[in-house]
Structure 1
């Protein structure tokens, strides 16, 4: 999988989408350290150990380098940044039954806005799966020759 580059100036306005989701009692925020195990365990259950480990790394910063979507006590999605490498966005994911509602878009934009506030002009989206989503949402572009990435020598669990 390749990496993508996104310009952080002029990110899309998500206020209307966030307001619409708020009407469904879905809120977006950064979790705090007492919630670490809940977020980590949810990500582990939904997406696996690798992403759960990256969530744990995101909790090593204050404020936490992660956003969550929640409804009541239920986590609906998450997005991390600078969890594995400086200036990298990801991992991110939304509960499978809620995809297509815009939750992932809000989590992405909130994370990229936070990175912009940290002083970055561009961000790298690492090891992209849904290329078209990032192209359409934030005009991200593929980075040539990025198939060989920070993940290339990742220890793989045995089947």
Structure 2
């Protein structure tokens, strides 16, 4: 799966979509075990490992989506490599409600605020989604890219 590039400096000055009963916020260190366990149960050990890395920074490099105070999604950045967005995932029962888009925009805005001009979305699954949501474009010749040779237990796509 290819990587995609997002021009953070060209993102419109907007906030993530407002969703009824859903809030997006940066994770707190004290939530590490709960969040990492949730991710491993739904998305596998590889993504859980990247989430662990996201908790090693202050502030954390992981945003959470909460529906009525229950974890329903996450998005990481700067975990496998600096400037990379992902992994990200939304609980299967909550998909189709723009939660993934809200996590994406919030995380990319945090990356822009940290001084990045560009973000790379690594090993993209739904390329059309990223192109529509934030104008991401495919990086030619980026498969398998950074993830070549990585140990895997048939993990889902990265982002």
TM over 0.5: yes
1:30-41 to structure 2, matched below 5 A, reads: 30-41=26-37
Correspondence 1:153 to 2:149: yes
Correspondence 1:82 to 2:101: no
Number of equivalent positions: 153
1:34-81 deviation line (CA, Å, top 9, x unaligned): 100111011101111000000000000010001000124411100000
Higher mean C-alpha deviation, range 51-60 or range 143-152 = 143-152
Q: How far is the alpha carbon of 1:97 from its aligned partner?
A: 1.3
Q: Distance in 1 between matches of 2:118 and 2:10?
A: 11
Q: What does residue 123 of structure 2 align with?
A: 127
Q: Distance in 1 between matches of 2:115 and 2:98?
A: 26
Contact 1:3 1:147 in 2 (8 A): yes
Please give the secondary structure, in 2, of the residue aligned with 1:144. Answer: coil
Q: Distance in 1 between matches of 2:40 and 2:29?
A: 17
Correspondence 1:110 to 2:87: no
Please give the secondary structure, in 1, of the residue aligned with 2:9. Answer: coil
Contact 1:11 1:109 in 2 (8 A): no
Contact 2:46 2:152 in 1 (8 A): no
Contact 1:6 1:122 in 2 (8 A): yes
Please give the secondary structure, in 2, of the residue aligned with 1:77. Answer: strand
Q: Distance in 2 between matches of 1:92 and 1:148?
A: 18
1:110-139 deviation line (CA, Å, top 9, x unaligned): 110011011111110000000000000011
Contact 1:6 1:139 in 2 (8 A): yes
Q: What does residue 5 of structure 1 align with?
A: 5
Structure 2 alignment gaps of length 5 or more: 155-159
Q: How far is the alpha carbon of 1:27 from its aligned partner?
A: 1.0
Q: 2:48 aligns with which of 41, 49, 52?
A: 52
Q: Distance in 2 between matches of 1:156 and 1:96?
A: 22
Contact 1:81 1:91 in 2 (8 A): yes
Q: TM-score, normalised by structure 1?
A: 0.91
